[in-house]
Amino acid sequence: MTEHQWKRRYVNGDTVVVLINPNTRTDHMQIRAALGQWVPDGVNLRIHETRKDISTEELARSVTADADGVIACGGDGTVSEVAAALDGRKIPLGIIPAGSTNIISQELGIPSGISSAAALALGPFDIHEMDVGTCNDRYFLHMAGTGIDSRIFDNTDESLKRRIGWMAYVPAAMKAVWDGSKRYRITIDDEEHSVLSPLVLIANGSSIISSSFKIDNSIRSDDGELDVVIVTATKAHELAMVVAQAANPLAVFRDSPYVIQRKARTVRIESDKPQPIQLDGDVSTHTPAVFGVRPRAIGIAVPGSRSRKVNG
């Protein structure tokens, strides 16, 4: 493999490191069995489980120094932390979606079935060169936010999420909606906004909760920019109109009178009191926060014409 070339299949002598989050809805033994079924002859498969005594990013850095490829098994948070360890290293990242939402894999067309996803992750595959969002000293791949969404993630019962998936967010969402709007000072590149808002999103992907629920089809993960979405609805009926606009596939979300949407390379969010910020579904930091983007910093294994077709 040359310095500027991604591997698209693994060959005899290659090493593929797998990181499995054992606290997901999917039985990790099922994941191990699927990996064993599809690993190419002569490829060295090393499997590690994430731990509570070390961050997933730190663990990934420590075990992937000699890796020719890496596979992340878990939800969006697990995938993002593993990706952070691979930033700029030209090592392909495969994804086996095993979380409650798996938005990143959904948007990239990665199969939801464990066997199909394992077959793809072990190659052959195509590469999607993906932007990486940064927030303070942390990374995200798909979506960051403060307001309603961060309070939803902060208040969702983890054991319930493992049992029933994204439906576990509903009770927390009902509580978050009534928590009210917050005053933010937002600098988008050189443009400043002072707003009262229930929700501010910094997007590197277009979907929320499910790939079928898109806020804007123009949002891309490979254009070198972030999309800032500021909801300015402060009354119940205004917020209902925003939700209806987002849910309508024929409507354009940014055309709502209660939405400000901009593209940016850098964003700064400040608030009078620190507000939680979620990064790919995990509340990881608080305001004030500075966001940036690293264009096409990682390569994700995605389906292509040469990928194996199997049943999920």
In a domain, 3, yes or no: no
pLDDT in tens, 199-227: 899 999 988 766 667 788 889 999 999 99
Same-domain check for residues 112 and 218: no
How many separate domains does the chain show?
2
Q: pLDDT at residue 178 above 50?
A: no
Same-domain check for residues 29 and 123: yes
Whole-structure pTM value: 0.84
Q: Which two tokens stand for residue 141?
A: 């791949």
The pLDDT confidence band at residue 174, using thresholds 50, 70 and 90, is very low
The enclosing domain of 25 has a CATH number of: 3.40.50.10330
The pLDDT confidence band at residue 150, using thresholds 50, 70 and 90, is low
pLDDT in tens, 35-86: 999 999 999 999 999 998 999 999 999 999 999 999 999 999 899 999 999 9
In a domain, 87, yes or no: yes
In a domain, 1, yes or no: no
Same-domain check for residues 287 and 157: yes
CA atoms within 13 Å, Cβ hemisphere of 76: 30
pLDDT score, position 310: 43
How confident is the model over 227-254, as a mean pLDDT? 78
| Percent of the chain clearing pLDDT 70 (strictly above) | 82
Strands 259-264 and 226-231: antiparallel
Same-domain check for residues 101 and 240: no
Instruction: Quote the domain boundaries for residue 268.
Output: 138-295
Same-domain check for residues 169 and 281: yes
Residues 300, 125: Cα–Cα separation, whole Å: 9
Same-domain check for residues 176 and 40: no
Total Cβ atoms within 10 A of residue 227: 23
How confident is the model over 234-240, as a mean pLDDT? 77
Q: pLDDT at residue 87 above 60?
A: yes
Same-domain check for residues 36 and 116: yes
Which residues, in sequence order, are CB contacts of 261 under 8 Å at separation 6+?
216, 227, 228, 229, 230, 253, 254
